[in-house]
Amino acid sequence: MFSKSCQYAIQAVLHIGLKDRGKAPVSVKSICEEQNIPTHFLSKILQLLVKQKILSSIKGPHGGFMLSKSIHQFKLIEIVELIDGSEIFNQCGIGLKRCSDETPCPVHHVFKKVKNQIKSILTDKTLDQLCNEIHEGKTNLILFPKN
């Protein structure tokens, strides 16, 4: 559903949120290594997030990226809307130009429910709640576990 840029941005922000609740700088290198994200690609995404004041950055050998606001206020919908826009929640699930409640495609009603649920999760849950679920072992952020 989300572009690769948006997926990487969400993974990076979750990763940053997990490290000292987003208050300590996290290097691009550590995010890329732990999430298996191409460095050049993620660097551009993180620069955009800094420019839009979602993240802040500190230069230097002990620098990195941190959240610009409290982990308790941060919602992932901000990233999705910035990178992919909010239109993704209104698009047809199979790409038809004319798809609506009045003229639904074959998957319209099911997709509408799923998209609304995803949007609700991204809007209602804070980054703090999502990070707590990871810390409690209810969910994970490890894409490629180290052996």
The pLDDT of residue 96: 94
What is the arithmetic mean of pLDDT over 87-109? 93
- Give every CB contact of residue 18 below 8 A, 6+ residues apart in sequence: 131, 134, 135, 141
Residue 30: phi and psi, rounded to 5, are -65, -40
Architecture of domain 4-135: Orthogonal Bundle (1.10)
What's the pLDDT tens digit per position in 2-32?
999 999 999 999 999 998 787 889 999 999 9
The pLDDT of residue 146: 47
Single pTM value for the model: 0.87
